[in-house]
């Protein structure tokens, strides 16, 4: 599959652990490397790779915060809008 030079990806990865837990064991760094070098190593530019932490225990307020964070990232990077962030 051919990719244009303008293709770019915002990688949003969920985690059931806290940021501190992942960082202390260097798991976040390892997961970013696997995605960038192992999965997307086909000429697609990863412009950002963010984690949403503790998603398995997030309450409604935390989930809404995560959705706002994702919407803000997409808007900042000028990604095309495709409906509601709740779809």
pLDDT of 87 over the 50 cut: no
Please tell me whether the overall predicted TM-score, pTM, comes out greater than 0.75 for this model: no
How many domains, the chain? Answer: 1
- The pLDDT, as a whole number, for residue 38 is 82
Domain contains 83: no
For the CA atoms of 50, 80, 44, 46, what is the dihedral angle to 10 degrees?
Answer: -20
* 8-state DSSP, 11: E
Domain contains 30: yes
Residues 22-54 have pLDDT tens digits of: 999 999 999 998 888 888 777 777 778 899 999
At residue 6, the 3 state secondary structure works out as: coil
Domain contains 37: yes
Domain contains 2: no
For 69, the domain range is: 8-76
């Amino acid at each position: 599959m051919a990719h244009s030079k303008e293709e770019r990806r915002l990688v949003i990865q969920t985690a059931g652990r806290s940021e501190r837990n992942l960082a202390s064991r260097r798991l976040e760094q390892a997961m970013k490397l696997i995605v960038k070098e192992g999965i997307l190593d086909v000429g697609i530019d990863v412009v950002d790779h963010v984690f949403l932490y503790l998603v398995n225990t997030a309450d409604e307020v935390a989930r809404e915060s995560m959705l706002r964070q994702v919407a803000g990232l997409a808007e900042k990077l000028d990604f095309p809008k495709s409906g509601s962030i709740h779809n």
